[in-house]
Amino acid sequence: MPPKSSIRKEEWEKSLHEVQVTKSDLNRLVMDYLVIEGYKSAAEEFSQEANLEPPVDFESIESRMDIREALQRGDVEDAIIRVNDLNPEILDTNPALYFKLQQQKLIEYIRQGRIAEALQFAQDELAPRGEESPEFLSELERTMALLAFESAPNAPSAIAELLSPAQRMKTAGEVNAAILESLSQGKEVKLVGLLKLLCWGESMLEEKTTFPKLNVMDGSLVERG
């Protein structure tokens, strides 16, 4: 294998400075971030300051955040009502997402110790869906296992994690992504995608040459030995 070539910091810095990024491109990246992360007020102000048309209606941002907050506090029924108010087709055309919300509702019943209601809800709402899909059935069985391990300190992590705040956030994230998709808006912040692309490009280039890497925290170049 031939030895790697090397690019000096000064050369690399000059090449980076020659890359042209327009202000309008940067503005769109900022707007994309504000919209997807749900900063409605900031998005409204930035839209006016940058004279930039938002990619979605500002009211839909507030609706998404209300839905996310409802799920994060465990109010699944309120979240479902709000999703249907925003666009009933989101759940009508996405049975997997609707199952996730029903599963989360079952988890909340168990969390609150409403065992009789949990069993009835699982039988009426989730069991029929479990018969339609092996994946749904597996998730239902995992959720019902919470009843067996409710007071056990050594519950398997795959079961115990259902009661963690991260589970609520995961469900909220999936609903948020589905709403964004229904609005023809990207599900991931474009800046995140660009950082992933940067890391991939650096790893490809590193196979052939040695070069200073970009420190994304402060924009400086770090030379590697």
pLDDT tens-digit readout, 130-163: 888 899 999 999 999 998 875 555 678 888 899 9
**3-class SS shares of the chain: helix, strand, coil, % to 5:** 70, 5, 30
Q: Within the chain, what is the greatest distance between any pair of CA atoms?
A: 70
Burial bucket for residue 71 (CB in 10 Å: 0-12, 13-18, 19+) = buried
Q: Above 90 in pLDDT, residue 225?
A: no
Closest residue by Cα to residue 105 from 122, 89, 93, 88: 122
Phi, psi of 195 (to 5 degrees): -65, -40
CA distances from 188 to 22, 32, 113, 127, 147 (A): 22, 9, 36, 33, 35
The pTM score is 0.74
Tell me what the pLDDT averaged over the chain comes to. Answer: 86
- Paired with 221 in beta bridges are 214
User: pLDDT above 70 covers what percent of the chain?
Assistant: 91
